[in-house]
């Protein structure tokens, strides 16, 4: 709604009339001041409003129309709560209809035949202004926890600074660890009670420490307070926030940012406090962290990586490495494939590991381009082997969550296969477990169609998320790839071993292969093999190898076996 | 040729119609020309032949709306009259009013096509 006000572009007005002459005549008037959208009947109008209602400033609606008349449309809009978004002005020549339509939620009417155009324009303008003012007033300043909503919090932060620019202030961010899990386990009512409890404790704190507090994105709380000389009282507050009930574990962390410079933007301050807070996730000993130089350096580093991405892509600084996969079901382990892994050969920073840049790529969507690049590079490498050895070694490549939303994904993969004369089984697709969990329906549909096409699907990072065994049986998967943490502890942790063993048994029942990655030593290898795992990947066999290294590796293997 | 003068002579309230078009003669004439394709005439005739008074009312009402906006008084007057009778779903002989509407439409068509 605020966007409608701020927007420098023309506001949009939807004209709904089945008679083309009326539509054009009214459109010609309205377009003097507005961008005009047209609909021929109620149904068409409804489709437009459902899709873009927030961006439409007013609807001019004829009442008598075929398919869906104006009354029916008003009814539906009211039912779907869409009348709150956009005012409807009816076009009519009947007094009775005017009364009825106003009763049904229209805010005004324009008479047919049309009045003087200027009158119509003034009328529309007045209605839009009234409506937008009303919505501004209705925008909530506080939420149910008694704290400010985001817009108001940020606005008041700047007002406080403007009134007294000299004083030093702290921005504090609070975060509840795994809040979504609390919500899932204990339900929304309890989760809301926890938030209210936190809100009231934070307000109590403000009685002795001048400042303001806000909350948004569910469990993100913020304070903007006079600089705290020592953090003891804040620590006590965090402790209180965690003590909602002895039966429910609520772990709260806080991050502090103290802006020394005066020209730091409000959102920058909250973001800095938040990143300090984020450093404590899964930390059980510390509850408060301050934003410091190191964090700042990390952010600068991340910023640099983001800025350099585009050039890196164009200059082919990304190198595909291959880590061999071994089939361990027979007496002797046999190489059976590889996983394509990416490294960034940065001209100034040297080798950058994917752990540093992949999350950044995922954040800005570039990961899709990177994935595509790796698919193609991998296909090129496989094609080279095929020519040299008359046989292909299948390679698995990563498919990111965002790729699944690309309507062209199948075509893109098929084009690559065709271009390099590969078979679909040469390219395995690794899809992370969490991609299955979010928007499950879409993910399942896309993945199933890739599988039907003949690609082999490996579920990556299995066990790191929340997929239940029950869900697993319905998923399109050819192989399960255990999260690295399983390999790390399987040789020392009996419970973990039994868990892996039963998961492998379950996978076998479903006819799904199992792969372990991150296997680093003989003990881990033997434990995985004993548990029944089919394929093993990790430093125990080989580190990821550059393209040429991999070729040497294969040739040495051949010599050994000859 | 369709012109403002020809329309005025036909009996249209040209000034009124032009006002709604911000005084643009070109745009006004373009809209009047579109009356050739207006489907309500046919719908009204058909509905009356089948004695479907509901459908006839809808068609007459639509016709009234369009001709009122274009200020085509010679069609608008009988259209208004027939709409009011049809609104009450009166059992009457609609033929004379329909004939008047269609004759005026034909007259206008002739001006447009001249």
Per cent of chain A over pLDDT 90 is 46
Q: Is pLDDT at A3 greater than 70 in this prediction?
A: no
Q: Is pLDDT at A333 greater than 50 in this prediction?
A: yes
> Is A18's CB within 8 Å of B27's CB?
no
Rounded to the nearest 10 degrees, the angle between the axes of helix A188-208 and helix A179-186 is: 130
Between these two residues, A442 and A471, which has the higher pLDDT value? Answer: A442
pLDDT tens track for A216-234: 988 999 999 999 988 899 9
Average pLDDT for chain A: 87
* Residue corresponding to tokens 């990390």: A298
Confidence (pLDDT) at A68: 77
> Is B31's CB within 8 Å of A19's CB?
no
Chain A positions in Cβ-Cβ contact with residue B20 (cut-off 8 Å): 25, 29, 113-114, 116-117
What distance in Å separates residue B45's CA from the closest CA in chain A? 18
* Angstrom distance (rounded) from CA A335 to CA A327: 6
Q: Confidence class of residue A6 from pLDDT cuts 50, 70 and 90?
A: very low
> Is B64's CB within 8 Å of A93's CB?
yes
Q: Confidence class of residue A467 from pLDDT cuts 50, 70 and 90?
A: low
> Is A117's CB within 8 Å of B20's CB?
yes
> Is A21's CB within 8 Å of B61's CB?
no
Between these two residues, A167 and B34, which has the higher pLDDT value? Answer: B34
Both tokens assigned to A418: 């065709």
Q: Can you tell me the mean pLDDT for A109-123?
A: 86
ipTM of the complex: 0.92
Q: Is pLDDT at B4 greater than 70 in this prediction?
A: yes
pLDDT tens track for A155-203: 888 888 888 888 889 999 999 988 877 887 788 899 999 999 999 999 9
Looking at mean pLDDT, say which of A281-295, A296-310, A455-469, B31-45 comes out highest.
Answer: B31-45
Which of B34, B35, B69 lies at the smallest CB-CB distance from A112? B69
**Domain at A150-291: CATH architecture:** 2-Layer Sandwich (3.30)
Q: Name the β-bridge partners of A290.
A: A256
* Angstrom distance (rounded) from CA A460 to CA A447: 13
pLDDT tens track for A473-524: 778 899 999 988 889 989 888 888 998 998 899 899 889 999 999 999 999 9
> Is B69's CB within 8 Å of A116's CB?
no
User: Do the bridges between strand A12-16 and strand A288-290 make them parallel or antiparallel, or are there none, so unpaired?
Assistant: unpaired
pLDDT tens track for B37-92: 899 999 999 999 999 999 999 999 999 999 999 999 999 999 999 999 999 999 99
**Residue B105 lies in domain:** 4-113
Confidence (pLDDT) at B94: 93
Q: Which residue of B has its CA nearest to A115?
A: B20
> Is B69's CB within 8 Å of A22's CB?
yes
Q: What angle do CA B35, B41, B42 make, to 5 degrees?
A: 120
> Is A25's CB within 8 Å of B20's CB?
yes
pLDDT tens track for A286-299: 899 999 878 888 88
Yes or no: say if A237 and A205 are a contact pair by the CB < 8 Å rule: yes
Query: Is A117 an 8 Å CB contact of chain B?
Result: yes
Q: Is pLDDT at A417 greater than 60 in this prediction?
A: yes
Between these two residues, A282 and A350, which has the higher pLDDT value? Answer: A350
Query: Is A349 an 8 Å CB contact of chain B?
Result: no
Which of B22, B61, B69 lies at the smallest CB-CB distance from A21? B69
Query: Is A197 an 8 Å CB contact of chain B?
Result: no
Chain A positions in Cβ-Cβ contact with residue B27 (cut-off 8 Å): 28
Which of A32, A113, A116 lies at the smallest CB-CB distance from B68? A113
Question: For the domain that residue B51 is a member of, what is the CATH number?
Answer: 1.20.120
| Alpha helices per DSSP H over A420-493 | 433-437, 440-453, 469-472, 484-489
What distance in Å separates residue A112's CA from the closest CA in chain B? 7
> Is A32's CB within 8 Å of B58's CB?
no
Query: Is A114 an 8 Å CB contact of chain B?
Result: yes
* Residue corresponding to tokens 């991340």: A302
Sign of the four-CA dihedral A532, A534, A537, A542 = positive
* Angstrom distance (rounded) from CA A72 to CA A66: 11
Which of A24, A93, A117 lies at the smallest CB-CB distance from B65? A93
> Is B19's CB within 8 Å of A28's CB?
no
Query: Is A95 an 8 Å CB contact of chain B?
Result: no
Query: Is A52 an 8 Å CB contact of chain B?
Result: no
Which fold is adopted by the domain A2-138? Rossmann fold (3.40.50)
Residue-range domain boundaries for chain A:
2-138, 150-291, 333-555
Query: Does the bond joining A113 to the residue before it have cis omega, within 30 degrees of 0?
Result: yes
Most A CBs within 10 Å, among B16, B41, B59, B62, to test the A interface: B62
Confidence (pLDDT) at A4: 39
Per cent of chain A over pLDDT 70 is 94
The total of structural domains in chain B comes to 1
Looking at mean pLDDT, say which of A363-367, A533-537, B6-10 comes out highest.
Answer: A533-537
Shared fold status for A150-291 and A333-555: no
Chain A positions in Cβ-Cβ contact with residue B66 (cut-off 8 Å): 19, 21-22
Q: Is pLDDT at A560 greater than 90 in this prediction?
A: no
Chain A positions in Cβ-Cβ contact with residue B62 (cut-off 8 Å): 18-19, 64
Query: Is A32 an 8 Å CB contact of chain B?
Result: yes
pLDDT tens track for A230-270: 889 999 999 999 999 888 888 899 999 987 776 788 888 99
Identify which of A351, A354, A353 has the alpha carbon closest to the alpha carbon of residue A367. A354
Which of B22, B31, B58 lies at the smallest CB-CB distance from A21? B31
What distance in Å separates residue A121's CA from the closest CA in chain B? 12
What distance in Å separates residue B90's CA from the closest CA in chain A? 19
- Yes or no: domain A333-555 corresponds to CATH 3.20.20.450: yes
pLDDT tens track for A19-47: 999 999 999 999 999 999 999 988 999 99
Which of A19, A113, A114 lies at the smallest CB-CB distance from B62? A19
For chains A and B, CB pairs below 8 A equal 54
CB within 8 Å of A78: residues ≥ 6 apart: A104, A105
> Is B20's CB within 8 Å of A113's CB?
yes
pLDDT tens track for A58-97: 999 988 877 778 888 888 888 887 877 788 998 887 777 7
> Is A21's CB within 8 Å of B27's CB?
no
What distance in Å separates residue B21's CA from the closest CA in chain A? 7
Which of B16, B19, B21 lies at the smallest CB-CB distance from A28? B21
What distance in Å separates residue A268's CA from the closest CA in chain B? 51
C-alpha pair distances (Å), A382 with each of A252, A323, A427, A545: 50, 13, 9, 14
Confidence (pLDDT) at A116: 85
Q: Which residue of B has its CA nearest to A24?
A: B31
Identify which of A219, A93, A89, A375 has the alpha carbon closest to the alpha carbon of residue B64. A93
Per cent of chain B over pLDDT 90 is 87
User: Do the bridges between strand A479-482 and strand A513-516 make them parallel or antiparallel, or are there none, so unpaired?
Assistant: parallel
Confidence (pLDDT) at B33: 93
Identify which of A384, A400, A385, A387 has the alpha carbon closest to the alpha carbon of residue A342. A400
Confidence (pLDDT) at A559: 73
Q: Confidence class of residue A7 from pLDDT cuts 50, 70 and 90?
A: very low
> What b-and-e string marks burial along A92-117, b requiring 16 or more CB atoms within 10 Å of the CB?
bbbeebbebbeebebbbbbbbbbeeb
Q: Which residue of B has its CA nearest to A25?
A: B21
> Is B69's CB within 8 Å of A117's CB?
no
């Amino acid at each position: 709604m605020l966007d409608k006000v701020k927007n420098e572009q023309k506001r949009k007005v939807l004209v709904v009339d089945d008679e083309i002459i009326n539509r054009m005549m009214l459109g010609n008037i309205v377009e003097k001041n507005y961008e005009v959208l047209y609909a021929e009947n109620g149904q068409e109008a409804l489709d437009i409003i459902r899709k873009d209602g927030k961006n439409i400033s007013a609807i001019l609606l004829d009442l008598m129309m075929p398919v869906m008349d104006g009354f029916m449309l008003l009814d539906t809009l009211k039912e779907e709560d869409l009348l709150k978004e956009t005012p409807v002005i009816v076009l009519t020549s009947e007094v009775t209809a005017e009364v009825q339509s106003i009763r049904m939620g229209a805010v005004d009417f324009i008479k047919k035949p049309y009045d003087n155009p200027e009158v119509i324009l003034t009328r529309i303008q007045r209605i839009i202004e009234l409506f937008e003012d009303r919505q501004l007033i209705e925008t909530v300043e506080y939420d149910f926890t008694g704290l400010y909503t985001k817009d108001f919090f940020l606005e008041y932060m700047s007002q406080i600074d403007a009134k007294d620019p000299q004083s030093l202030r702290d921005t504090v961010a609070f975060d509840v660890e795994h809040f979504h899990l609390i919500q899932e386990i204990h339900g929304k009512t309890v989760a809301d009670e926890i938030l209210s409890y936190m809100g009231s404790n934070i307000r109590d704190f403000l009685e002795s420490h001048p400042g303001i507090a806000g909350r948004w994105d569910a469990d993100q709380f913020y304070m903007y307070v006079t600089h705290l000389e020592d953090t003891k009282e804040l620590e006590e507050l965090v402790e209180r926030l965690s003590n909602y009930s002895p039966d429910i574990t609520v772990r709260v962390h806080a991050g502090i940012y103290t802006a020394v410079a005066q020209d730091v933007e409000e959102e920058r301050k909250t973001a800095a406090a938040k990143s300090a807070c984020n450093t404590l996730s899964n930390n059980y000993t510390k509850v408060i962290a301050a934003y410091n130089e190191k964090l700042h350096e990390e952010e600068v580093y991340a910023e640099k990586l983001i800025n350099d991405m585009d050039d890196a892509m164009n200059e082919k600084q990304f190198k595909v490495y291959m880590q061999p996969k071994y089939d361990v079901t027979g007496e002797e382990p046999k190489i059976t494939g590889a996983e394509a892994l990416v490294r960034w050969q940065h001209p100034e920073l040297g080798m950058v590991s994917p752990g540093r840049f992949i999350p950044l790529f995922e954040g800005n969507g570039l990961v899709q381009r990177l994935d595509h690049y790796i698919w193609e590079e991998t296909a090129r490498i496989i094609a080279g082997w095929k020519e040299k050895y008359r046989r292909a070694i299948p390679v698995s490549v990563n498919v990111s969550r965002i790729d699944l939303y690309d309507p062209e994904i199948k075509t893109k993969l098929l084009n690559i296969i065709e271009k390099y004369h590969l078979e679909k089984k040469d390219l395995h697709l690794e899809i992370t477990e969490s991609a299955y969990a979010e928007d499950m329906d879409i993910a399942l549909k896309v993945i199933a169609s890739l599988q039907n096409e003949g690609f082999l699907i490996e579920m990556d990072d299995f066990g790191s998320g929340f997929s239940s065994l029950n869900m697993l049986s319905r998923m399109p998967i050819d192989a399960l790839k255990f999260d690295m943490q399983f390999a790390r502890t399987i040789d020392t942790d009996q419970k973990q071993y039994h868990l892996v063993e039963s998961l492998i048994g379950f996978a076998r029942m479903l006819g799904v292969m199992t792969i372990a990655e991150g296997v680093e030593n003989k003990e881990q290898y033997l434990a995985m093999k004993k548990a029944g795992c089919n394929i093993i990947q990790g430093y125990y066999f080989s580190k990821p190898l550059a393209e040429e290294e991999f070729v040497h590796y294969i040739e040495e293997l051949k010599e050994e076996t000859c | 040729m369709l012109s403002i003068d020809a329309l005025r002579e036909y009996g249209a309230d040209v000034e009124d119609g032009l006002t709604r078009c911000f005084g643009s003669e070109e745009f006004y004439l373009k809209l009047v020309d579109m009356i050739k394709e207006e489907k309500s005439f046919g719908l009204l005739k058909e509905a009356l032949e089948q004695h479907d008074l509901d459908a006839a009312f809808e068609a007459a009402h639509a016709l009234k709306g369009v001709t009122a906006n274009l200020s085509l008084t010679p069609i608008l007057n009988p259209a208004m009259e027939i709409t009011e009778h049809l609104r009450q779903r009166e059992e009457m002989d609609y033929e004379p009013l329909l004939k008047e509407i269609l004759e005026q439409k034909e007259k206008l068509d002739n001006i447009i096509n001249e």
